[in-house]
Structure 1
């Protein structure tokens, strides 16, 4: 099978390429920067997701290499690729991505929180800056520690923790930001493969911890048996079902102070930790071979 991986220079792309290097599949990697992983069979430059020509360029590459399966890994491109796929721009290749409306809801963190809250899935208390009249009201509503983050951004870009109403400048944030209660407990990155039928799920968990031994801010990733955090795994599946997602999904879950897990973020794609859960990629390959 000929497989195209987008964003092969990024963490998620590299993780997939490393796994596919042990298979018989032919891998074509694309990226907006010249990065040529040794494990790919071919590499092509593509425009950034912000360029309207990106989809057409990708379509030409798919045709050139006779691609059977497209696995996008870059958050910024998912909405465009989902739309293009829905109108047949990449046919006859299959794109490993959820439906366009579901991808759109995951792309905007505020829409994600709204959809999950409406479905009864646990999320931290949250709001938009315009929901509050003052910094004091923010902290009175959301708690002693809050976070601000862009509604649309990759990873932790623009993320900040605030603990002092006196120094928090509410006027410095418009409604392109989300304000949320800070969840201080254990952090997990569930990885899910969701089939079409309820009960057809594969879930893997990793725990994300700060490396205090080396006195650094590095994050240590530790695989965790699902049985050790079953509530986290079940919450992840409920969130994915509520958002009407399918295929591979990467989430961020933390525990509140009372131990209750809450969903912080949902990404409709493979994440950087997929090498810790090869069963997720295996589900994808088995679904399309």
Structure 2
């Protein structure tokens, strides 16, 4: 029996990776959705499987997805967009189909870096962290330090503060945090967690080349300390399914938590090629199917390049004129 799957965020690297993964399965029928009619992933599926949806921040977003579930007889929803995850998870019982995403509580923990540090501190190395208020600024810090927003994706707003005078000059805002600056090499670890709180796989990736925040070249590496730390952090955050744990080595050579992205990363094709097809695992998990207890991965490298998809002009869909 074939299950119809809706993948949202078809214009992003993560959405494209998930669509391509699920298209390989004979038991899944893939529908692709985005707010933008120019989203490249829309054109990886048949014309009658392309959908335009409102931006994830709009009040009618979840209702629109639920309407698609009913109209298209969808059996699974997979979101690959940060801003969509919390509203979808908060109303998952209203969608009419399983949602391949962490719980609302886990999402809120991961998306608030202050809450995340507190959740993970008993289980893994985390950087010294304080809220950017008078008490936080007054603490003894080894400079430079990092100041960053408590919420937000990527590196937006993150900046290095060189000395105490510069820290004292920062505007006090409890929506921001101060963190110890970790000097070592940074790794992204793609983690897949089962419902029993145990990791099915943890795949560390070195981002060898990055362009506009997206890895365009990298390689997977076997390092036990990275895998153990990432698994411990994902478990502490309450993740079920896919997440991306970002780690950086401290001055003593131990990996420490930077953040957890509770979604599919844009570099997911490298993890899939290494032997861990996390989109496929996520589909099976959400559908209540059996998944392996553990999946091993191989060390492999990749380089990325643009790929053109050509379609008749009449097939380009009208998008929603609004920001995500």
TM-score bracket relative to the smaller structure: 0.7 to 0.9
- Provide the residue aligned with 1:32 in structure 2: 35
Q: Is the 8 A contact 1:29 1:44 kept in 2?
A: yes
TM-score w.r.t. length of structure 1: 0.86
Report the RMSD for the aligned CA atoms in angstroms: 2.4
Q: Please report how far the alpha carbon of residue 131 of structure 1 lies from its aligned counterpart in structure 2 after TM superposition.
A: 4.7
Q: Is structure 2 residue 223 aligned with structure 1 residue 224?
A: no
- Provide the residue aligned with 1:13 in structure 2: 15
Q: Is the 8 A contact 1:75 1:107 kept in 2?
A: no
SS of equivalent residue, structure 1 residue 239: helix
- Provide the residue aligned with 1:89 in structure 2: 94
Q: Is structure 2 residue 238 aligned with structure 1 residue 233?
A: no
Cα gap change, 1:68 to 1:174, in 2 (>3 Å) = same
Deviations 1:16-37 (A, max 9, x none): 1232343333222222222242
Q: Is the 8 A contact 2:102 2:240 kept in 1?
A: yes
Deviations 1:129-162 (A, max 9, x none): 115475xx46x32x22222222121212222222
- Provide the residue aligned with 1:283 in structure 2: 281
- Provide the residue aligned with 1:172 in structure 2: 171
Q: Which runs of 4+ in 1 moved over 6 A?
A: none
SS of equivalent residue, structure 2 residue 94: coil
Deviations 1:175-229 (A, max 9, x none): 1112211212111111111112254521212112357xx9x99855422233xx1
Which runs of structure 2 are paired with 1:56-95 in the superposition (5 Å)?
Answer: 56-85=63-92, 88-91=93-96, 93-95=97-99
Is the deviation greater in 239-248 or in 143-152? Answer: 143-152
TM-score w.r.t. length of structure 2: 0.78
Q: Is the 8 A contact 1:206 1:221 kept in 2?
A: no
The count of corresponding residues between Structure 1 and Structure 2 is: 276
For structure 2, the 5+ residue unaligned runs are 290-324
Give the Cα–Cα distance (whole angstroms) in 1 for the partners of residues 134 and 191 of structure 2: 33
Q: Please report how far the alpha carbon of residue 103 of structure 1 lies from its aligned counterpart in structure 2 after TM superposition.
A: 1.5
Cα gap change, 1:176 to 1:40, in 2 (>3 Å) = farther
Which runs of structure 2 are paired with 1:1-289 in the superposition (5 Å)?
Answer: 1-24=3-26, 25-34=28-37, 35-37=39-41, 38-41=43-46, 42-85=49-92, 88-91=93-96, 93-117=97-121, 119-132=122-135, 134=137, 137=138, 140-141=140-141, 143-168=142-167, 170-210=169-209, 219=215, 221-226=217-222, 229-278=223-272, 279=276, 280-287=278-285, 288=287
For structure 1, the 5+ residue unaligned runs are none
Give the Cα–Cα distance (whole angstroms) in 2 for the partners of residues 47 and 28 of structure 1: 16
Give the Cα–Cα distance (whole angstroms) in 1 for the partners of residues 252 and 164 of structure 2: 23
Cα gap change, 1:173 to 1:10, in 2 (>3 Å) = farther
Deviations 1:92-147 (A, max 9, x none): x1101122211111121111111112x3321111111115475xx46x32x22222
SS of equivalent residue, structure 2 residue 256: strand
